[in-house]
């Protein structure tokens, strides 16, 4: 493999890896505040891209993306308020099935609104043939957008949880719900907020990735399972681990294309998921005991 | 005997439906009921796994597809060109192969449906063991995702393997002569016969599973669901019981896959899709989780409506909606809403405390 | 030979030594009690013996066999039964069915014979049902046999749990706070029952907070404090032991 090709694969890996990391962090945010794995996480990404595409004829691109993210956040909030908020001590099985149901309904709504066509946002800068040269490899500038935006989101989230009072309240709820209630925090609002946050992140990621990877009504399931793989790989609830694991999975996928047929690409990442679940369900970066601590 | 009598109302109902359908000239309904009955075979197996052993599986369409695809591939693969190979001659000598003519009059040498069916079910069971040992150590979300992952892998393999027909699937699967005169195939002429074959298999399955849950094993499974820790301390080998119910439900799924594939004359990748697995879970949930009768009735009814195209392009959406509504408002199934809960039934919503995963 | 021997048993949770270098043994036919203030490691000790937790180090020998780190179902099969501090009924099953699960190890029938409802399983079922009913009668709760266990009153649930443990025909019975949450009359009843259980030839190891109960019925008492054994003796001597008095009454 030539050095150029290597860099080419590497950047492909980083691009997808950033997206996976964002989906995984979305899982983590909701998991930390509720203990729920939101199977509809991938649908946020789909919704963000699709709504932005629909708004594009009416609005300039940045505004379309902004509105799409806002609308997806609103949908996230509604999901939580309609389906989850009022359940008292639901079992894990029940929550799994409900979020799966939400994901199906979202997907089915999408197919009736947007059809089965593959769509895409235009490239933010230039077009599909414009490239920039890095270390001899030719990279689309959109790749930098994806990596940049995802990076900014991670930094923003970190600051949000560490430096704002709302962020601290969410951490308090994650650490000890009962104690948080006694301190006057309403955990329900924190749960809604966690859905809003992870919906917004997913939607923004869905917008920046759309020019490269396209958007389609059924992209959510695949993203969800890969995002979950990454979340597990990095240790469920641990967002720093998710970034590292996301880039790792992205790279593995990208390089696997040179070894096995493209059709098996998804099977590989799922096989990794199964392997990790069997061998180290607490993630490759964490220990079993640390996995019980929830960090954003 | 008492246990057989319990099935009598259902048997009478089945006969009544056939007579009504034939009398009113609406025999084509029987075809969809037959298909629905095969799906229900999978569903009652899944009901034991989910409702009694308390383990969710989002990958059971995978086992259905393993059964269906293997049987389809083996019974359509023409071995004539390699008929002199040692292993082909050996299979032939064992009576596993049958000859015939293809539609162009060329010679055909394929595996017999019986041999391929048994092989397919055994492979499904073996895969269930291999997958089940690690998967069933997982709980909650992890188990759900792992089984979902398994289902997707099977789907991708079906879609990617030229040997399995990729997006087209496999067509031209020959009829399955179960016994002389008893043939599983979709011809209009055999509608009534196949209707009874499907119901026969389904009722047999139901009978076996009803026996199972009323036995020592059924008690142990419900105990696992009630409190895994206490069941373990009572000497119930939890890992083994979970694995055995997983394999049992996989076998039911594979048999359903084999029979429906021969009935339809083919199988496509959509049968392995995630939506199928989710749909099966939805039906078990509607039936009341730990409720074999509920699973059977809902399985036949909902699959029938779906196959009739009643839900139109909202087919998947309907099942998604069913899932949510049932889990929100009636986590014990709608039958339990109508009837007062009987003794000795696992109540999944109450028995399951929020486990820390 | 002692029925249960615990040697240098050790269990850490992170930096916490929940059970620290504990040694003692239980003789056949004894009633032995483990006492200690909250957080002394009593329930952890039980979980280590019954296999619900694996020890960090040390040996648990039961009937001469080393059982530490084995799965609970194997330890149960070797003749050890237990009850829980917070009763773990099998939800959704009747009291009778709960006890019948206790008879699990006395049955043979597996998936295949159960599905076929094979004739040789009929006898087994009848035997298990009869025995379970007898145990419910012994504990004077036969009238609730068909009631869902989780809907019974607390004291009755304790009785069902005890019947369920006795159904296992154990050599050793671990009782985790059998009198917790019971009133003074029910506690006296429990004391009578434990003596009755011993008369059946079952050795008893119990954790209990109710001192009068412990002093009444036990032959020997082990005192734990912060995971360490600080005393082991007959009740009268324990009552006089200055260390024990200090941890219970303060300096």
> ipTM value of the model?
0.89
Contact B227 C81 (CB under 8 A): no
Q: Is B357 on the interface with A (CB under 8 A)?
A: yes
Q: Which of C106, C111, C173 to mutate to test the interface with B (most CBs of B within 10 A)?
A: C111
Distance in Å, alpha carbon of B69 to nearest chain C alpha carbon? 27
Length of chain B: 357
Name residue C61's beta-bridge partners. C5, C66
Which one of C88, C111, C128 has the shortest CB-CB distance to B230?
C88
Percentage with pLDDT > 90 across chain A: 31
| Nearest by CB: B236 against C88, C93, C104 | C104
Q: Give residues with Cβ within 8 angstroms of B340, minimum separation 6.
A: none
Q: Which of C88, C92, C101 sits opposite B345 (nearest CB)?
A: C92
CATH (domain of C96): 3.40.50.300
Taking residues A153-181, report their average pLDDT.
Answer: 86
Residue A128 pLDDT > 90: no
What pLDDT shows up at residue B1? 64
- Per-domain residue ranges for chain A? 3-221
* Cα separation, A259 vs C229, whole angstroms: 61
In this prediction, residues A40-54 reach a mean pLDDT of 94
| A200 or A232: which leads in pLDDT | A200
pLDDT for the residue numbered B83: 76
> Quick one: tokens of B105?
């009059």
pLDDT band at C15, cuts 50/70/90?
A: confident
Low-confidence ranges of chain B (pLDDT < 50): 340-357
For residue A124, the distance in angstroms to the closest alpha carbon of chain B comes to 33
Rounded to the nearest angstrom, the minimum Cα separation between C24 and chain B is: 22
* 3-class DSSP assignment, residue A119: strand
How many structural domains does chain C have?
Answer: 2
> Average pLDDT in the A71-99 region?
87
Q: Does B98 touch chain C (CB under 8 A)?
A: no
Q: Do A266 and B142 touch (CB under 8 A)?
A: no
Last residue in a domain, options C104, C134, C169: C169
B146 to chain A: nearest residue by CA?
Answer: A274
Q: Is A264 on the interface with B (CB under 8 A)?
A: yes
Query: Which residue from B149, B282, B316 is facing A270, i.e. has the nearest CB?
Result: B149
The shortest C-alpha distance from B106 to chain A (Å) reads 34
Statement: residue A284 has pLDDT above 80: no
Residue A73, both tokens: 């956040």
Domain boundary residue among C137, C169, C201? C169
Q: Which of A91, A103, A219, A224 to mutate to test the interface with B (most CBs of B within 10 A)?
A: A91
Q: What pLDDT was estimated at residue A182?
A: 86
Q: In this structure, what token pair is assigned to residue B39?
A: 């799906």
Residues C163 and C107 grouped into a single domain: yes
Question: DSSP string spanning chain C?
Answer: --SEEEEEEEEEETTEEEEEEEEEEE-TT-EEEEE-STTSSHHHHHHHHHTSS--SEEEEEETTEE-TT--HHHHHHTTEEE--SS----TTSBHHHHHHHHTGGG----HHHHHTT-HHHHHHHHHHHHHHHHHHHHTT-GGGTTSBGGGS-HHHHHHHHHHHHHTT--SEEEEESTTTT--HHHHHHHHHHHHHHHHTT-EEEEE-S-HHHHHHH-SEEEEEETTEEEEEE-HHHHHH-HHHHHHHH--
Inter-chain touch C82–B233, beta carbons under 8 Å: yes
User: Among all chains, which residue has been given the structure tokens 């009735």?
Assistant: B297
User: Which residue range is the domain that position C134 belongs to?
Assistant: 87-169
Give the chains touching C; criterion: ≥3 Cβ pairs < 8 Å: B
**Nearest beta carbon to residue A267 from set B56, B153, B316:** B153
Do residues C6 and C126 share a domain?
Answer: no
Contact across the interface for C90 and B226, Cβ inside 8 Å? yes
- Phi/psi at B171 (5° precision): -115, 175
Q: Which residue of B has its CA nearest to C78?
A: B235
How many angstroms away from the CA of A136 is the closest CA of chain B? 34
Alpha-carbon distance B4 to nearest alpha carbon in chain C (angstroms): 11
B153 contacts A270? CB cut-off 8 A: yes
Mean pLDDT of chain A: 85
Q: Enumerate the domain spans of chain B.
A: 2-349
Contact A100, A228 (CB under 8 A): no
Q: Which two tokens stand for residue C69?
A: 């780190």
User: Do C154 and C39 lie in a common domain?
Assistant: no
How far apart are the C-alpha atoms of C10 and C18, rounded to whole Å? 8
Which pLDDT tens digit goes with each residue over C227-250?
889 889 998 898 888 888 888 776
| Cross-chain residue pair C114–B215, CB shorter than 8 Å | yes
- Is pLDDT larger for residue A7 or for residue B80? A7
Those residues whose C-beta lies under 8 Å from the C-beta of residue C38, and which sit 6 or more positions away, are none
Q: Do C150 and B350 touch (CB under 8 A)?
A: yes
For residue C81, list chain B residues with Cβ-Cβ distance below 8 A.
Answer: 233-234
Q: Is B108 helix (H, G, I), strand (E, B) or coil?
A: strand
DSSP state of A271: H
Query: Are residues C191 and C250 both part of a single domain?
Result: yes
Q: Partners of C12 in the beta sheet?
A: C17
What are B56-93's pLDDT values in tens digits?
899 999 999 999 999 999 998 877 778 777 788 788 87
Q: Does A140 have pLDDT greater than 90?
A: no
Output the pLDDT for position B86: 78
Q: Does C97 touch chain B (CB under 8 A)?
A: yes
Record: contact C128-B346, CB cut-off 8 A? no
DSSP state of A57: T
Distance, CA of C60 to CA of A163 (rounded, Å):
50
User: Using CB atoms, which residue from B208, B232, B244 is nearest to C72?
Assistant: B232
> Cα distance from A14 to chain B (closest Cα, Å)?
23
Mutate to test the interface with A, among B60, B127, B133, B149 (most CBs of A within 10 A): B149
Query: Would you state the pLDDT for residue B82?
Result: 80
Predicted pLDDT at A282:
64
Would the CB atoms of A228 and B157 count as touching at under 8 Å? no
Taking CA–CA distances from B318, the nearest residue in chain A reads A105
- What residues of chain B lie within 8 A of the CB of A266, using their CB? 152, 156
C46-57 per-position pLDDT tens digit: 999 999 999 999
**C93: which chain B residues are within 8 Å (Cβ-Cβ)?**
219, 222-223, 226, 344, 346
Encode pLDDT of C35-75 as tens digits: 988 888 888 999 999 999 999 999 999 998 999 889 999 99
B122 in reach of chain A (CB within 8 A): no
Q: Does C86 touch chain B (CB under 8 A)?
A: no
Give the tens place of pLDDT for each residue, C83-116. Answer: 998 889 998 899 999 999 999 998 888 888 888 8
* Contact flag C117-B211 (C-beta cutoff 8 Å): yes
Interface test with B, best of C83, C100, C104 (most B CBs within 10 A): C104
B159 touches chain A (CB under 8 A): yes
* C46, C89, C93, C160, best to mutate vs chain B, most B CBs in 10 Å: C93
Q: Do B140 and A92 touch (CB under 8 A)?
A: yes
pLDDT beyond 80 at C215: yes
Name the minimum distance, in Å, from the CA of C74 to any CA of chain B.
7
Residue length of chain C: 251
Structure confidence at residue B352 (pLDDT): 38
Nearest CA distance, B2 vs chain C (angstrom): 12
pLDDT in tens, C153-199: 888 898 999 999 999 999 999 999 888 888 888 888 889 889 989 99
Residue (of A166, A186, A167, A164) closest to A177 by Cα position = A186
pLDDT of residue B345: 41
Q: Token pair for residue C245?
A: 């008095």
Residues of B in contact with C125 (CB under 8 A): 215-216
- Using the Cβ of B84 and the Cβ atoms of chain A, whether some distance falls under 8 Å is answered with no
Please report all neighbours of A, defined by 3+ CB atom pairs within 8 A. B
Put simply, whether C168 touches B (Cβ < 8 Å) is yes
Check residue B291 and report its DSSP letter: -
CA C243-C247-C55 angle, to 5 degrees, is 90
**Chain B contact for C116 (CB, 8 A cutoff):** yes
Whether the predicted pLDDT of C131 surpasses 90: yes
Q: Cβ contacts (< 8 Å) between C99 and chain B: which residues?
A: none
Does the distance separating the beta carbons of B238 and C146 come in below 8 Å? no
């Amino acid at each position: 493999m030539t050095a150029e090709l290597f860099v080419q694969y590497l950047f492909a890996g980083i691009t997808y890896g950033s997206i996976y990391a964002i989906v995984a962090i979305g899982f983590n945010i909701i998991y930390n505040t509720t203990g729920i794995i939101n199977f509809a996480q991938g649908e946020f990404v789909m919704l963000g891209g699709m709504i932005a595409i629909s708004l594009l004829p009416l609005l300039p691109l940045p505004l379309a993306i902004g509105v799409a993210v806002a609308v997806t956040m609103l949908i996230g909030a509604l999901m939580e308020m309609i389906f989850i908020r009022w359940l008292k001590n639901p079992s894990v099985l029940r929550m799994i099935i409900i979020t799966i149901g939400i994901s199906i309904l979202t997907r089915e709504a999408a197919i009736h609104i947007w059809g089965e066509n593959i769509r895409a946002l235009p490239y933010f800068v230039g077009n599909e043939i414009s490239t920039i040269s890095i270390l001899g490899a030719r990279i689309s500038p959109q790749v930098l957008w994806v990596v940049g935006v995802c990076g900014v989101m991670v930094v923003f989230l970190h600051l949000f949880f560490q430096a704002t009072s709302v962020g601290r309240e969410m951490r308090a709820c994650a650490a000890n719900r009962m104690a948080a209630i006694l301190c006057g925090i309403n955990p329900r609002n924190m749960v809604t907020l966690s859905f809003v946050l992870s919906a917004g992140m997913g939607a923004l990621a869905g917008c920046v990735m759309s020019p490269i990877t396209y958007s389609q009504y059924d992209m959510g399931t695949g993203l969800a399972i890969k995002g979950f793989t990454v979340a597990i790989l990095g240790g469920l609830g641990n967002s720093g681990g998710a970034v590292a694991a996301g880039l790792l999975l992205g790279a593995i996928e990208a390089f696997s294309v040179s070894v096995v047929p493209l059709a098996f690409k998804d099977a590989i990442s799922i096989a990794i998921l199964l392997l990790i679940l069997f061998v180290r369900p607490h993630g490759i970066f964490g220990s079993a005991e640390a996995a019980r601590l929830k960090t954003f | 005997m008492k246990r057989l009598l319990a099935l009598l109302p259902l048997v009478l109902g089945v006969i009544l439906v056939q007579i009504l359908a034939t009398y009113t000239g609406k025999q084509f309904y029987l075809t969809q009921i037959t298909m629905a009955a095969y799906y229900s075979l999978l569903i009652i197996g899944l009901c034991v796994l989910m409702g009694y052993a308390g383990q969710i599986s989002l990958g059971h369409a995978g086992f259905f597809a393993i059964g269906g695809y293997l049987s389809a591939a083996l019974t359509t693969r023409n071995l004539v060109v390699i008929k002199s190979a040692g292993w082909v001659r050996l299979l032939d000598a064992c009576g596993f192969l049958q000859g015939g003519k293809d539609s162009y009059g060329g010679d055909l040498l394929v595996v017999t449906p019986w041999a391929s069916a048994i092989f397919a079910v055994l492979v499904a069971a073996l895969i269930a063991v291999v997958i089940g040992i690690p998967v069933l150590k997982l709980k909650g979300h992890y188990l759900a995702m792992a089984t979902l992952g398994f289902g997707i892998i099977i789907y991708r393999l079906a879609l990617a393997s030229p040997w399995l027909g990729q997006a087209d699937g496999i067509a031209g699967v020959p009829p399955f002569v179960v016994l002389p005169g008893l043939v599983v195939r979709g011809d209009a002429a055999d509608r009534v016969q196949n209707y009874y074959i499907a119901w026969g298999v389904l009722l047999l399955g139901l009978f076996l599973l009803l026996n199972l849950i009323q036995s020592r094993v059924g008690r142990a499974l419900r105990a696992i669901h009630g409190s895994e820790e206490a069941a373990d301390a009572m000497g119930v080998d939890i890992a083994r019981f979970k694995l055995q119910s997983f394999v049992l439900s996989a076998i039911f799924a594979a048999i359903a896959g084999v029979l429906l594939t021969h009935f339809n004359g083919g199988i496509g990748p959509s049968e392995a899709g995630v939506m199928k697995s989710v749909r099966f879970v939805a039906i078990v949930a509607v039936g009341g989780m730990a409720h074999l009768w509920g699973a059977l009735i809902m399985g036949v009814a909902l699959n029938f409506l779906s196959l009739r195209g009643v839900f139109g392009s909202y087919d998947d959406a309907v099942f998604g909606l069913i899932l949510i509504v049932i889990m929100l408002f009636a986590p014990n199934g709608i039958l339990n809403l109508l009837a007062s809960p009987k003794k000795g039934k696992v109540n999944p919503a109450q028995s399951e405390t929020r486990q820390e995963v | 030979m002692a029925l249960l021997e615990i040697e240098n048993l050790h269990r850490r949770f992170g930096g916490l030594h929940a059970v620290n270098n504990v040694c003692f043994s239980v003789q056949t036919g004894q009633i032995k009690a483990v006492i200690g203030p909250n957080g002394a490691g009593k329930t952890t000790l039980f979980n280590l013996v019954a296999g619900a937790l694996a020890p960090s180090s040390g040996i648990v020998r039961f009937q001469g066999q080393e059982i530490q780190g084995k799965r609970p179902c194997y330890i149960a099969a070797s003749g050890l039964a237990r009850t829980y501090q917070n009763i773990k009924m099998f939800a959704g099953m009747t009291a009778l069915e709960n006890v019948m699960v206790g008879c699990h190890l006395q049955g043979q029938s597996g998936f295949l014979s159960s599905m076929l409802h094979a004739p040789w399983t009929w006898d087994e079922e009848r035997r298990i049902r009869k025995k379970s009913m007898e145990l419910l009668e012994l504990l004077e709760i036969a009238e609730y046999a068909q009631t869902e266990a989780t809907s019974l009153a607390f004291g009755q649930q304790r009785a069902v749990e005890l019947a369920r443990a006795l159904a296992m025909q154990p050599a050793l019975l671990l009782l985790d706070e059998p009198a917790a949450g019971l009133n003074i009359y029910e506690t006296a009843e429990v004391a009578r029952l434990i003596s009755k259980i011993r008369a059946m030839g079952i050795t008893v190891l119990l954790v209990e907070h109710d001192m009068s109960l412990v002093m009444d019925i036990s032959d020997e008492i082990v005192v734990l404090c912060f995971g360490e054994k600080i005393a082991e003796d007959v009740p009268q001597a324990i009552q006089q032991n200055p260390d024990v008095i200090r941890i219970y009454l303060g300096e």
